[in-house]
Structure 1
Amino acid sequence: MTETTTRTAPDSGTEVTLPAQTDLLRLATAGSVDDGKSTLVGRLLHDTKSVLADQLDAVHRASADRGLATPDLSLLVDGLRAEREQGITIDVAYRYFATPRRTFVLADTPGHVQYTRNTVTGASTAQLAVLLVDARNGVVEQTRRHAAVLALLGVPRLVLAVNKIDMVDFDESVYDRIAAEFRTHAAALGYAEDAVLTIPVSALLGDNVVERSARMPWYTGPSLLEHLEQVPVAPDPEDVPFRMPVQYVIRPRTAEHPDYRGYAGQVAAGVVTAGEEVVVLPAGLRTRVAKVDTPDGPAPRAAAGRSVTLLLEDDFDIARGDLIAAAADAPRVTDELDATVCWLAEKPLGPGSKVLVKHGTRTVQALVEELTARFDEQALSSVAAPDSLALNEIGRVRLRTSEPLPVDDYAASRRTGSFLVVDPSDGTTLAAGLIGVPLAPFAAAAG
């Protein structure tokens, strides 16, 4: 029997069973409209045999109905795109596929400018991002915008897939020009040279997607899949201090469990172990973990992504929104947030705006005290003290919250170092915020 392990799917928190002998790479795709992203994702799924037979048959039939001589692999993912165009709210589609060497969770994001917020969602857990450009168009405004967002979110590695290389007759000079321009841009965003790989591909024909292409002897690097199989995976989220926002307080008050009081939530970072000392924030109450309950019964420990119920040695007044954290390395508690935000709403953000801040499972009122800078992702420069932030703009803000929040810097813990800005009138998401992330090194940028 094949040994298996369980991991948590980032889109839903549900657990999926994966082969234990392979490690996991979380990646995101991004690119402008019509750069061929759907075809590339479809090609990866098809050529790694990650498509069910009935799905493939449907693609063959639909392609034949359109008069196409070969199957249009973009149809494997275009159903979701059609749903988006019909106005159905779907932030990111997650695709799962595997090879003997590695298992992959791919966050598929749309390319329209107005869906930049989806790129933020998809890249928030990514260890690598594949950014597509059309070889005929090269690096465009949306490419630079996506690269800036990926750098902001701390995605450690980038792949630039120069797609539709067949449409420029596999011209090496076209590829070299695009690759050089993107590497210069990525370096200005703070990426080291070895963190960026450029690959000429034809998603339609399959060149350099799974198999290396014989039509580009001038390219001697790996195919896209070869790189995805071999690239070093970022440090495991278990290697950071334990954090768990409390989602529910469980008190069944039954004859079988008259005194049971558990605190349920998903481990956001690190590992929790029965017997370890923890602190409950923002109150600062210290205690120890008496027991770690899971859906499968008691466990000695639980790692990031696992949904658990913690029983504590002391009977404290703990509620939804509190954070249970490692006592030896606790987050700071503050009512002032200096953060970088990606503004996702049509209406602009200005100083003095009253908003809600959702951090973990706690939502509090907040006031925008100051806009300290706005980042120009095209010119790689910053503008001090802007009047406002508009849709898709990235800026530095200072927020004052009505209640103190236990926060980390985003670089130390993504889950507890990030937050959402929410409209108090209708509950819509206005921005994604990252704590302690400066606009530099973007701001090659500082002037």
Structure 2
Amino acid sequence: MSMLRFATAGSVDDGKSTLIGRLLYDTKSLFDDQLAAVEAVSHARGDDYTDLSLLTDGLRAEREQGITIDVAYRYFSTPKRKFIVADTPGHSQYTRNMVTGASTADLALILADARKGLVEQSRRHAILCTLLGVEHLVLCVNKMDLVGFDRDRFEEIRAEFTEYARQIGTKQVTVLPVSALRGDNVVNRSENMPWYDGPPLLELLESAPAGSADLGTGTRFPVQYVIRPQSVTVTDHRSYAGQVAGGVLRTGDEVLVMPSRTTTTITRIDSPSGPVTEARPPMSVTVQLSDKLDVSRGDLLCPPQDVPTVAGELEALVCWMDETAPLVPQQRYVLKHTTRRVRASVEAIDHQLDINTLHETPAAELTCNQIGRVRFRLTAPLVFDEYRRNRTLGGFILIDESTNHTVGAGIIV
């Protein structure tokens, strides 16, 4: 069966965790003891219903506050497909966690409260998902039961979101009305909304295209670790471990080692289950080469005819995540890109993007949750692709060297 990775997004209290809990419950993906534990906690809190959001909100602080803080990954399957879902937080304070969950998704479920419609965080998550390369956005207009299953209210929100998605360049948009608490249009069609003629959410997820998160237009293999066995039971060899970030690696292929631009040939590929003749994303493998070369962590294997960019400068769209200090020109950070770290200084901020109007305005700094186009100068050349060409080689994070905190995420343009 194929696998679909999707993430939930949207503002706080829009019902993301409840929707995922409903999917797990209605697809019978829960163990009896899981359901019993959720029912017991719901009863102890005085709820007159089983709070399915507790299935993903596992932290004590999440259960006490009724919000999602960390990304919760859940796995379930139907007879047609397997799913990996990342339930991400909606609070603006935890935008970095949402970016983490959406960065590997094939599809994003963005929830909106039918009473409130689209709010600032709904738009922020929609544009972040689009910038992160998520090609299919599904807007679930939730809590339709609280507006009397009003079709006009649904159509109003659908028109507004469809226009916004067109402006930010989203490739595919689907909008459907749901009630996660009651299960309307989640797994089964709702009798309360006969005017809706589209599929329920699960049917849509089962038919959505998958695999976009793994695709890259060229073969890319960032080296994570050099393996040199020192044992009498293992033949002495040198191999290079990493995760395939694009294309296909095959034994016998000629590859270029970047940034040294040395040519060699792949003689063997090993996976956790044994030798293989080819490896595709997101397989983690070790590779042996025909020549004894100076290859180390942070280097990259690629085809000689399809070489990524090597440069000491880059431009990127940056989502700033630090609440304590803004991003300003001349500031220095550690830039982590694939398996390599280099120091980077901010040359200039070209503009800030207004997530409501989508206007580009001049900016002297970027504060928490703001998005802007930034130019960086690096202390050492970096091997990269544009993000739209390869997610792995086109993305990076910024780290404050004094605190070791992740303060920003960027996509190379």
Note whether the superposition's TM-score is higher than 0.5: yes
**Counterpart-to-counterpart distance in 1, 2:141 and 2:391:** 30
Determine which of 93, 104, 107 is the counterpart of 1:114.
93
Q: Output the amino acid matched with 2:61.
A: A
Check the 8 A contact 1:120/1:149 in 2, yes or no: yes
User: If the length of structure 1 is used for normalisation, what is the TM-score?
Assistant: 0.88
Q: Does 1:143 pair with 2:122?
A: yes
* Gap change, CA 1:78 and 1:290, over 3 Å in 2: same
- Alpha carbons 1:91, 1:121 under 8 Å: kept: no
Change in CA separation of 1:174 and 1:394 when aligned onto 2, cut-off 3 Å = same
SS in 1 for 2:38: helix
Q: CA RMSD in A?
A: 1.8
C-alpha deviation, 1:236, in angstroms: 7.2
Amino acid at match of 2:406: T
- TM-score of the superposed pair, with normalisation by structure 2: 0.95
Report the Cα distance in structure 2 between the residues aligned to 1:139 and 1:335, rounded to whole angstroms. Answer: 40
| Partner amino acid, structure 2, of 1:307 | S
| 1:316 corresponding residue in structure 2 | 293
In the alignment, structure 1 residue 199 sits paired with structure 2 residue 211: no
CA distance in structure 1 between the partners assigned to 2:163 and 2:260 by the alignment = 47
Question: In 2, distance between residues paired with 1:147 and 1:286?
Answer: 42
Q: What's the CA shift for 1:64?
A: 2.8
**In structure 1, how many angstroms separate the alpha carbons of the residues matched to 2:98 and 2:286?**
32
Aligned to 2:344: 366
Identity across the alignment (%) = 53
Once the two structures are superposed, the pairs formed by residues 164-183 of structure 1 within 5 Å of their partners are 164-183=143-162
Give the letter for the 1:361 counterpart: T
In 1, are the aligned partners of 2:216 and 2:391 still within 8 Å (CA)? no
Q: Which of 41, 51, 74 in structure 1 is aligned with 2:20?
A: 41
Distance 2:60 2:180 in 1: 18
1:246 equivalenced with 2:246 (yes/no): no
CA distance in 2 between partners of 1:205 and 1:257 (Å): 59
Q: Distance in 1 between matches of 2:395 and 2:149?
A: 42
- Say which of 129, 132, 141 aligns to 1:162: 141
Which residue of 2 is the match for residue 349 of structure 1? 327
1:261 to 227, 233, 238: 238
Aligned length: 410
Q: Distance in 2 between matches of 1:33 and 1:238?
A: 31
Counterparts of 1:123 and 1:398, CA distance in 2: 24
Moved more, 258-267 or 164-173: 258-267
Distance 2:214 2:92 in 1: 31
Aligned to 1:131: 110
Q: Tell me how far 1:271 sits from its aligned partner.
A: 1.7
Distance 2:213 2:123 in 1: 28
Inter-partner Cα distance in structure 1 for 2:355 and 2:334: 27
Report the Cα offset of residue 256 of structure 1.
Answer: 4.4
Distance in 1, matches of 2:250 and 2:30, equals 39
The 3 A distance-change label for structure 1 pair 377 and 150 is same
Counterpart CA distance in 2 for 1:405 and 1:429 is: 19
Where does residue 39 of structure 2 map in the other structure? 60
Conserved? CA contact 2:56–2:74, under 8 Å = no
State the 1:426 CA deviation.
Answer: 1.9
Residue 4 (structure 1) aligns with: none
Note the C-alpha offset of 1:253: 3.0
Q: Is the 8 A contact 1:97 1:103 kept in 2?
A: yes
Structure 2 unaligned runs (5+)?
A: none
> Are 1:267 and 1:303, in contact at CA under 8 Å, matched by a contact in 2?
yes
Aligned equivalent of 1:225: 202
SS in structure 1 opposite 2:56? Answer: helix
The question of whether the paired residues in 1 share the 8 Å contact of 2:213 and 2:391 is answered with: no
- Superposition pairs of residues 365-404 of structure 1, within 5 angstroms: 365-384=343-362, 386-404=363-381
Provide Cα deviations, 1:245-265, integer angstroms capped at 9, x if missing partner.
111111123334464111111
Contact 1:208–1:223 under 8 Å retained in 2: yes
Matching of residue 420 in structure 1 with residue 394 in structure 2: no
The yes-or-no answer on 1:288 pairing with 2:265 is: yes
